[in-house]
Every structure is written in structure tokens, then in C-alpha cells.
Amino acid sequence: MKNWHVESKEEIFSYLKSSERGLSVKYAERKLKESGPNEIVEKREKSQIFIFLKQFNSPLIYILLVAMVISYLVNHVIDAYIILAIIIVNGVIGFVQERKAERAINALKKIIVSYAKVYRDKDLKKVNASNLVLGDVILLEQGDKVPADARLIEIKNFRTQESSLTGESFPQDKNLRVLDGDTPLGNKTNMVFMGTFVVSGQAKAIIVATGSRTEIGQVAESIQEIVHPKMHFEKKVTQLSIQMAVIASIGAILTFTIGYFFKGLGFIEIFLFTIASLVSGIPEGLPAILIIVLAIGARRMAKKNAIIRYLPAVETIGVATVIATDKTGTLTQNSLTVEKIVTSEDEYTISGDGWNPEGEFRNEVERVDALKIDVLKKIMLISVLCNKGNLIKKGKGYEIVGDPTEVALLVLSKKSGINKEKLSEKLIDDFMFNTELKLRASLIENRNEKELYSVGAFEKILDRCSYYLKDNKKTKLDKESKGLFLKQAESLAKDGMRVLALAYKNMPKKTESITKEDIDKLIFVGLVGMKDPPRKGVKESIEKARNAGIRVIMKTGDHKETAIAIAKEIGLIKEDFKVMTEEELNSLSKSNFNKAVRETDIFARVTPKMKMKIVQTLQEQGEVVAMTGDGINDAPALKKSDIGISMGKMGTDIARESSEMILSDDNFCSIIDAVEEGRTVFRNVRRTSFYLITTNIAEDVTIVTSLIMGLPLPLLPIQLLYLNLVSDGMNNIALSMEPAHEDVLNQPPKDKKEGILNRALIPFLVISVGLMVFATIPIFNYFLLQGLDKARTAAFVSMTMFQVFNVFNMRSLKNSLFKLGIFTNKWVIYSFIASLVLMLLVIYLPWISDLFQFDYLTVTELFSIVGIASSIFFIIEGYKFVRNKWRG
């Protein structure tokens, strides 16, 4: 891409074969055919068939497919169809969730700009923005969205808002000066860029880049080249699938070896045992359960304003070790608010939230009425009358029109109670904001008196003042007084505020217009300090993140001083903080760069390329990075991060497309809520996996033990499928609803190398499996005297009830159920009742019991088995008590 900002406009016209009068229509049409339309090429949307088939690309599904094929080959058709149904349901759930997310994103897409004003054949014409070509001369006015990258050739008080591209929150003053070759994107003041906004003034510009060759287009293309790292959840589920496949295979091989080589059973009989062992070892319901756990987590997150685009992100946010957050709009409200007023008489603090025109004025002692204090009243009048901004009420919020700085002054005046429409003062003439003078002025008439009001950069206004207002009288502005006001202004600026000065002067009654020569010998009235204030609750959320062992860093395109001021206010940095700019980072060696990334709290004036480099370095250091962003400049790093988090209100389409999570309220606090839910999801995945594995191993060991003892097969494959799908399934869904326990945000993130299965399971596995096996085998053996079907029925009831009681244990491997509260997860109670009812229906309804080959049990027999099975709850409760007491 050519460095257009270093060339003079004459050189650019010559190079692009254009002029200030623009291109001819014929030449523009020819160029359009050569270069293509001014559009960013979107990646082709995935077909619905591809999305559906993608759901089956999982080791767990492969295991189920093997089990299905084997069941079909040995003529267990019903078993095969049940497993097939599981696979299809799993695919449908995943497909529906992903398509729902895609539809939500498509609904958010908006065209960058529809039309542009361009000079063709010397005339100004309105054309479709996609038809713009290099060399076109365009006209830009207040409120326009820039249709392509262009070099400015003529300006009049021209300013743009480029926060979506550069991250800088304040509008940028533009000029025509030729710049240095190494000028950063945010400082290219003689250029305008596609997708940014014109906030004031007028300009002509020659287009130097269109479509994918623009800055925004380059970002979009770079996104396509970035390979998103595999999510933590996907890695752990793959690991779990392999572990389960190994367990199931060992059980099946062991069963076949013992039965065929040591017990001398016939091939068909031992094959039946082997299939039963394989079915018992495979957690057929696990894929669906995992999706349900994630879906429940996603639903809970959505209620807390965190919308999940990709289900595995639900859990990944819970293991994040670093949150790299944007400043504007995420930590702050993305609205300029006047917070301080300084006059010769006093200092005032103004409360309020964003663009909402409600707030109070207070000095150090008390609340004051701004319209009853002469100097404040004057400030309010200047704020509302020397102003072209507008504030429109839209639903529960507000929409601004014009320069955000002027709208902030308008909101200030509204807080005082001034109603512009009811004022007797009238605007006669307006001197629009001048980027060189850095001020604006208005001629106001009131009852045959005329005054000039002016607002601008504090140093520029003070240079034009000869007096200052004190006790409603003009007082000579001497060197000492001016120095004091400058010192006060600089103090506000150090606090990260944008500081403006307000002044006025009386004008002759016959004055009908004003020029820059009139803006002189003014009466200084006061200073106003405004900034983009922090969002409510951000400070507390950052503290929560620290308690949870998460490092929070700020990366922004804004200036270092502004970033530091906000970071101090929200508690992001302490006394020994470290801040670095991109320029400083680029001067470091690789080892020093790595050290800086490890230690720095704030990265200021950073470009998209540097943001991505920072994310990549953090990942190489072993961190799990959650990255927030709303602008085009954030998109590459969002995609590169472990979990990209974009903004729902202020975010751009490119940022949303590159993220896994969208904050519907654009609030950092929602990220911490999502972390809490993500950690709960991981715990629930672990709970459900532990529960399934415990029961599956118990079933497998029961089959192998019965084989060793020379007993018949205690449970048929179809009975095992019921246990794994219906009984386990319902209880697992109940476990997946387990709410967050109180300690979830008081612990560091899980080690990303730690699997779903860990050593904490071993004691519970030994106790649970031991009880299930050494109770079920004797029960089965006892009832064999009354027939094989009745013995299998008794074994089935035993295994079912052990599972039902064990679900209470699995709510926490650490705390007693009585400490958690029996009714804190009512779904477990519901699943207990449902499991019991369904078990009775399967046993006692004739046509169903025939299908499962069950026999009748008396009430006494049934309750005896239930009583034995309940022992698992009391024994594990006792184990928790002893272990917790031993550990202190």
C-alpha cells in the first residue's frame, strides 16, 4: 500500500491521473471494471449440510458409531437403533445451536455505506459507494460515513471520529500537512478511512484505496489468514473421549479374554458378554449431556448479557488467566461527560451517567443550583448556545447528533435545568469550530444586547482573554491569574480529562456577523473538564478478577495519559504499574519484549498488528487469553485469542464475526459474570463426567465379575442402554443445573493442562464402584434361584437406585449435601422422583417389561434393594466428613 500521507496532493493527482474536478464518468467506469467494486469480500458462508455434518466430527461419536455397527451385526437391532437415535439427536442439538448463533450474527450485519457524493465530469453526483474507484474526488460533510480510504485535499473545520479503527475516543482534527513516512495510523491527520465518521465540518478528498485494499479491508483479509486456536473445552473432551474409549476397550478385551480363553464359553455367548461390556463402558449419553451442560451455561450467560456464538466458549472463558480489555466502551461508557467546572470563585463536581441529562452540581460543601450562581449560569448559557450538537431520546437511551464534545456541553446545560427552546437569547451568527484556532464562537442577541460566546482549547481561549469573571464583574486577567487558570487546567488534564475554556464579550448592537478578529479581548468565565467515565461496577469487577487469579490488562489506541487516568480510577493499576506504547515496545529485543508483555499493565497507542502480537506472546507464555474489542482494529487479535469478546451495541460487524462471545451491554462486568458461569460449567462438566464414568465402570466391573464367578450375564445390552441413557441421562441433566458454589471466584483458574478426570475422582470411584458391584452381584446371585429374568430385574433395580442416590454425592466432591442445601438444586430432587417413577413403569407395565425381559418384584423385595442402594449416600457423606476433618 502506497504511503499517501507523505505525498503532496499534486503528486497524488498526477499518480492517479485525476484532478480536483474529479474523474470523467467513462474513465471511472473503465477503472471499476479493472479494479472491481469498492466492497470487502466476505468469506463464503458455510452450508447448512456442512454445519450439520461437522457435529459428528468427535471421538465420542466415533465410539458410538462402532458400538452401533457391532450391535447391528450381532442382530441387536433395537440397541443399534437407539444408539443411532442418540447420534442424530446429538447432531441436531449442535446444529440448531450453531445455526441460531449464525442467524443472530447475520441480523447484526449492516452495509458499511450505501451512497457517496463524488465529482464526475466536474459535477457533484450521488453514486453507489460500491462504484467508487481510485482517483475519485468525494465530498464529505458532517454526519457522513467515509466510503473509502482517501487523502484530504481541501478542508473546512473538519474532524472525524475514528475510534472503531484506531481506538482513540476523542474526535480527530484533520489538516492538509504532509506527514512523515513512519506516522502511526492514529496520527495520519491528512487521511480519512473507510467506515469512520465525520463529526464536523466539510472536506474534499481523493480516494486512494477501495474495498479490500483499504485499512478496514486489510484487517478483514488478515482475519481470514488467522487460525483460531483449538478451544480448551474441545481439547479436554477429546482427551476424555480417548480415556473413555481406552476404558471401554480394556473392559471389552478383558471380558472376551476371560470368557473365551479361561472360562471356555462358546463364541456367541462370550460375544454377547463382550457387547454388553462395550455398551456398559461407553457413555452413550455423554455427547448430548455435554451439549446440554454448555447450552444451560450459555442460557445463564445470556441472562447476564453475555451471548455465546460458539458453545465450547462457555467453558473456555472459565479457564481464562488473562483478560486483555479495550478501554473505550468496555471499561468506559463511550460517552463524554462533564465532571468538573472550575471558575475564579469555586470548583464544582457534576454527577450523572453517560448522555443522560440528569445530575447534580456540588461544591466541596453542598449541592448548588447552577442557575442561581451567576458565573455558573453564564457557563450554562455558553454551553447551550455556542453549540450545534443535539441529543435525541431513543427508548431507554439517547442518540447523539454532531460532535460528542458539543453534546457533552449540551447535556451539562440540561442538567442545570436550562431549556434551549424557552431561552430569550437567539443565535445571530456562528463561527464554526476552526481546527487551527481550536475554538468556535457564536453571536447571541438578548433584549437588544449582543454578546459573543466562545468555547475551545483552554490555552487558546486564555490567550484571547483580557479579563475574567468574578462576582459577576469583569476583572483584569493578569499574568498571575492566567498562570493559576492554566495550572488548574493542566491538573484536570492530568486526570485524563479533556479541558475546555469558556469565554464571552459584549458586542456592538449593530453587529450581524463575526470573524476570527472579533474573538479577542474576551472575558474568561471558567474551565470544564470532561471525560469518558468508567462504567458502574467496573472497579469491583476488576477486584473480583484479581481474587479469581485473573490478570487484567488494558490495550488501547488512546494516549498514555488518558489510559493511565482511567486505569487509576477503576483500580486496574496500583503504585508500581507499568505502561508502554507501541513505539517503546518496537524498540525492545525479543526477550525484553516477552518480559514487557508479562509485566505491563497498560499498552497504549497500539495498532491492530501489535495487539495481535501481544495476544500471541501471552499464549506462548502459557496463558489462556480472553480479549475484548469493539472496533475494526481489534478483529485480528479477537480471532487470535483463546476467546474473543466483542461488543453488542458499539461493536462493528467485523469484530463480532471474529469473536466467540458478544456482550449485549458492552460492559466489562458481564465478562466477570461469564467467568463465574464458565467455571461453574467446567465443574458441571466434571460432575456429569465423574457421574457417568463411575456408573459405567461399575456396570463394566459387574459384568466382568459375574463372568469370573461363572454367573450368567447380569444385565442385557438393552437394559444397560436404559441405565446409560435414561437413568444416567436424567440425573446428569439435573447435575448440569447445579448453580455456582460460593468459592468459584475465590480460586485461581484451573491449570489448562488439567483434564476433566483427575485424582480427586479416585476415592469416590473406588467407594462407589465397590459398593455398586459388591451389592449388585450378591443381589443378582440371590434372585437367580427365582429365575434369570427376575435376577436381572433385581440387578437392574440395584444399579438404578445406586445411580439415583449417587447423584446427591456428585453435587460436590468436597462439601456435604447438608452444607450445600438439599433444595439448592431442585432439579436433582425432580430427577430422583422421575427416575423412580420411570423405573417402576419399565418393570411393571407388561408390554415394556416384556421388551426389557423383566420379571415382577414384590414391594418388600423392591424396598429391600432400595434400602441397600441408599447406603452409597451415607457412606460417601461419612467419607467427606472424615476427609475434611483430617485436612482441617
CA distances (Å), 664 to each of 107, 535, 832, in order? Answer: 14, 14, 37
For 48-87, letters b (16+ CB in 10 Å) and e give eeebbeebbebbbbebbebbbebbeebebeebbebbbebb
- Is the Cβ–Cβ distance between 19 and 13 less than 8 Å? yes
- Is the Cβ–Cβ distance between 721 and 279 less than 8 Å? yes
Interatomic CA distance for residues 880 and 611, integer angstroms: 47
Active site (annotated) includes residue 326: yes
Q: Which of 340, 121, 219 is nearest to 609 (CA)?
A: 219
Structural Rg of the chain based on CA atoms: 35
Strands 390-394 and 397-401: antiparallel
Grid coordinates of 108: 447484526
- Give residues with Cβ within 8 angstroms of 766, minimum separation 6: none
Q: Which of 560, 655, 558 is nearest to 607 (CA)?
A: 558
**H or E element, residue 568:** helix 560-569
H-state helical runs in 646-785: 653-657, 668-708, 717-722, 728-736, 761-783
- Give residues with Cβ within 8 angstroms of 479, minimum separation 6: none
Interatomic CA distance for residues 9 and 20, integer angstroms: 9
- Give residues with Cβ within 8 angstroms of 705, minimum separation 6: 773, 777
First to last CA, the chain: 66
**Secondary structure tally for the chain: helices H, strands E:** 32, 28
Catalytic residue among 79, 136, 326, 495: 326
Q: Which of 477, 425, 435, 431 is nearest to 454 (CA)?
A: 431
3-state secondary structure of 725: helix
**Active site amino acids:** 326
